[in-house]
Amino acid sequence: MMQYVIKGGNPLVGDVVIGGAKNAALGILAAAIMADEDVTIENLPDVRDINVLLEAIEGIGAKVCRLDAHTVRINGSSITAVRVNDDFIKRIRASYYLLGALLGKYRKAEVSLPGGCNIGSRPIDQHLKGFRGLGASVAVEHGMVVAEARQLTGGHIYLDMVSVGATINIMLAAALAEGSTILENAAKEPHIVDVANLLNSMGANIKGAGTDVIRIKGVPKLHGTTYSIIPDQIEAGTFMFAAAVTMGDVTVKNVIPKHLEAISAKLKEMGCEVIEFDDAVRVVCKSRLKYTHVKTLPYPGFPTDMQPQISVALSLAEGTSMVTESIFENRFKYVDELARMGANIKVEGNVAVISGVRRLMGADVSAPDLRAGAALVLAGLAAEGHTVVDETKYILRGYERFDEKLRALGACIYQAEDDKDISRLKLEVV
């Protein structure tokens, strides 16, 4: 089992290049199978979730050609099955995007119920409501979601709650439905816009992505295209907070600064200098961080996927901070691990009260999920002594060459495969 061994105390300094957005790529890969021509996707992140989804796409018969680590060509003309039932696909949340893609193209789809990180209840009722609003019948049978329709017809769909996944799934299905669809209370995240732009480049007619009302006029078919995925907002934010917790100076390159405004605003409140360029953001931290309060919200609010990272930073800040998690109820599972490192955090319901301490101490901790795992790595980079982060499989789901990029900034972080490896690294990395 892979683990990270970290020796903290080094300020991170230098430049880091951000890869393509995982959350956008998952929806885009599903959309790519909807054409019977070549769809070439560039700036694809080489992470576990992406590779699992590509295996599933290939498993139903689509042609998948990995041109290089960050480019793939997909052709959906050879698809022979609309049933996706694979042990791997159950482990990633985005398996459900194949529902919308297959339903739109073939009027039938059977996909395993989604898996992913256990960060709280993430029902797919809004997805199913959207499919029914397009005229499909939907049922859950033996762990599979089964959706089918003799004809998909555009409709007026109002989401009861803002849902990124449901917004993307409904866009996928409605792109090939007959007539027009109006989707209200839609999610506005950057990757919603990215999936819509990809679909439009394939011949779809989607307007309003990035607002709370999306209008989709169905087209008979989609065609091939070449498309480059936007930079990953969450990877960028993680490195921005890595600079803050280590009192470093890091320039985060290949980003869209507007997508990072909520993150940048909080870093400024905490006393960091944030300098924006056309496609880069520089974060400089010269003194102890200051307290602040934060509440996770749908975009353009502060992202829930950045909540563990800011909590690590606030655990080192002067004063008492409050972090309110309004999206997922199990997102504070990392708090006990952080407490092992000396953090002073109390959780009541969906609110964490954080009294900042001057230092964290290295400890053996376990990553409970993807973003919490990355946050515990940040804590290890800031802590005194050695930290061992277990269950790095979660981190590898969403961060490409995470340890390598951190080492390039001056971090002492290495991979270990067993206890013997850990003992050796602790002696060598001093």
For residues 316 and 331, what is the distance between their CA atoms, to the nearest angstrom?
A: 19
Which strand ranges, in their side-by-side order, compose the sheet holding 412-416?
Answer: 364-366, 386-390, 3-7, 412-416
Report the side by side order of strands in the sheet with 249-253. Answer: 13-17, 249-253, 280-284, 273-276
| Sheet hosting strand 205-207, strand order edge to edge | 156-158, 180-184, 213-217, 205-207
User: Rounded to the nearest 5°, which phi and psi values hold at 223?
Assistant: -120, 175
Is residue 126 a known part of a binding site? yes
- Report whether 123 belongs to an annotated binding site: yes
Angstrom distance (rounded) from CA 327 to CA 307: 10
**Does 217 count as an annotated binding residue?**
no
Burial of 2-34, coded b for 16+ CB within 10 Å and e otherwise, reads bbbbbbbebbbeeebebbbbbbbbbbbbbbbbb
Is 336 annotated as ligand-binding? no
122 annotated as belonging to a binding site for a ligand: yes
Burial of 246 (0-12, 13-18, 19+ CB in 10 A): buried
Among the listed residues 65, 117, 285, 412, the single catalytic one is: 117
Q: Using alpha carbons, list the distances in angstroms from residue 327 to 92, 169, 295.
A: 19, 19, 9
Annotated catalytic residue 272 = no
* Residue 23 annotated as binding site: yes
> Residue 93 annotated as binding?
yes
Q: How far apart are CA 126 and CA 19, in angstroms?
A: 30
Which amino acid appears at position 411 of this protein? Answer: A
From the number of C-beta atoms within 10 Å of its C-beta (0-12, 13-18, 19+), residue 321 rates as buried
Active-site residue set: 117
Binding site residue list = 22-23, 93, 122-126, 305, 327
Binding site residue list for UDP-N-acetyl-alpha-D-glucosamine = 93, 122-126, 305, 327
Binding site residue list for phosphoenolpyruvate = 22-23
